[in-house]
Amino acid sequence: MSLPAKSTSPAVILTGDRPTGPLHLGHYVGSLRNRVTYQHDYKQYIMLADSQALTDNMDDTGKVHRNVVEVALDYLAVGIDPAKSTILIQSQIPELAELTFYYLNLVTVARLERNPTVKAEIVLRGFERDIPAGFLTYPASQAADITAFKAALVPVGEDQIPMIEQTNEIVRRFNRLANQDILVECKALVPEIGRLPGIDGKAKMSKSLGNTINLGASAAEITAAVKKVYTDPLHLRVEDPGHLEGNVAFIYLDAFDPDQAALAEMKAHYVRGGLGDSIVKKRLELVLQEMLAPIRARREELAKDRGYIMQILKDGTAAAREVAARTADEVKAALGLSYF
């Protein structure tokens, strides 16, 4: 993953999460710790995508509402500084919905259905042909989110690259229509460490699968989760050679252990035999306890003043809306929709 060189006009980064539950280790390794770094050198917008979360949560809108503050707490606890990063709530910026409406005229239903990310998510959720229209048209909505702030960089996992490609298709088509470069094409930033598997060894760490370790997990919850971490099912005796591939304990240690040299020695010992899974898990628990303890402490302190959190969200959303409104005005003017 390469970032552009620093300049007097810093690149704009747009990132965010669907507020459907507390954030977990997968979010942290995939994006959160990078966002803490980005905010020092780039103009960063972090979106709480509550409107998008409703596309498959209309049966429990309260969950989305409740988790807006919970996710914001996670952001602040890991080190996101509201003085350097703009945190915003998607639903409170109507210009995003307006831009989505215009962009839907620049993409066909067939193209939306061919989007690999959308196809995979439709299968995952078992929609078959009963696909909520809002879910199917999410690529246009994401294009609106990105282009509203003229973001040049969008941190995503590899599975989201087709969404970025479709955003750029919409940008190019609109700019050709407008006969000027109003919208900005963006680049996907894929982290070096991709998606973490769940503690059960399944491909995805997911709240709905119950296989996560949340950033605000208590010490006891961390201990209990580590005990369940999937290792090597063929490693039946301590003296047997162990396997690293698919071994969740070592995948997590690769992502979070600050002493990679010592970890390399542990891996070699495990592979040649003579090292039990309990020792590996003991190391993993120590690493996670030390990493999550300060995050949990900050989160608990911040949670004492919910009014402060809401003020941060209100201020960030207001600032973001000014930017989005300027883009919406440019788009409407290019479409001949400015009258007064």
List per-block mean pLDDT (blocks of 10 residues) for the chain, which spans 340 residues: 55 93 89 92 96 90 94 96 98 98 95 85 77 87 97 90 95 97 95 83 81 95 97 95 96 95 97 96 98 97 97 98 98 94
**Where in the sequence of the chain do the CATH 1.10.240.10 domains occur?**
216-300
3-state per-residue secondary structure call for 42-78: CEEEEEECHHHHHHHCHHHHHHHHHHHHHHHHHHHHH
The Cα 55–Cα 126 span in angstroms is 14
**Where in the sequence of the chain do the CATH 3.40.50.620 domains occur?**
12-195+306-334
Output the six-digit token pair for 335.
Answer: 């479409």
Query: E-assigned strands of the chain?
Result: 12-17, 43-48, 85-89, 153-155, 187-189
The Cα 98–Cα 142 span in angstroms is 12
- What pTM did the predictor assign? 0.90
Homologous superfamily (CATH) for 216-300? Tyrosyl-Transfer RNA Synthetase (1.10.240.10)
Q: Write down the pLDDT at residue 6.
A: 52
Neighbours of 132 (CB within 10 A): 15
Q: Which of 52, 329, 25, 15 is nearest to 207 (CA)?
A: 25
**278 and 219 Cβ atoms separated by less than 8 Å:** no
Give the domain 12-195+306-334 fold.
Answer: Rossmann fold (3.40.50)
Q: Is 24 helix (H, G, I), strand (E, B) or coil?
A: strand
The Cα 215–Cα 74 span in angstroms is 7
Q: Which amino acid is located at 312 in the chain?
A: I
Q: Is 187 helix (H, G, I), strand (E, B) or coil?
A: strand
Q: Which of 56, 54, 162, 168 is nearest to 117 (CA)?
A: 162
Q: Write down the pLDDT at residue 251.
A: 95
Q: Write down the pLDDT at residue 5.
A: 52
Q: Write down the pLDDT at residue 4.
A: 53
Output the six-digit token pair for 101.
Answer: 């409406």
Q: Write down the pLDDT at residue 340.
A: 87
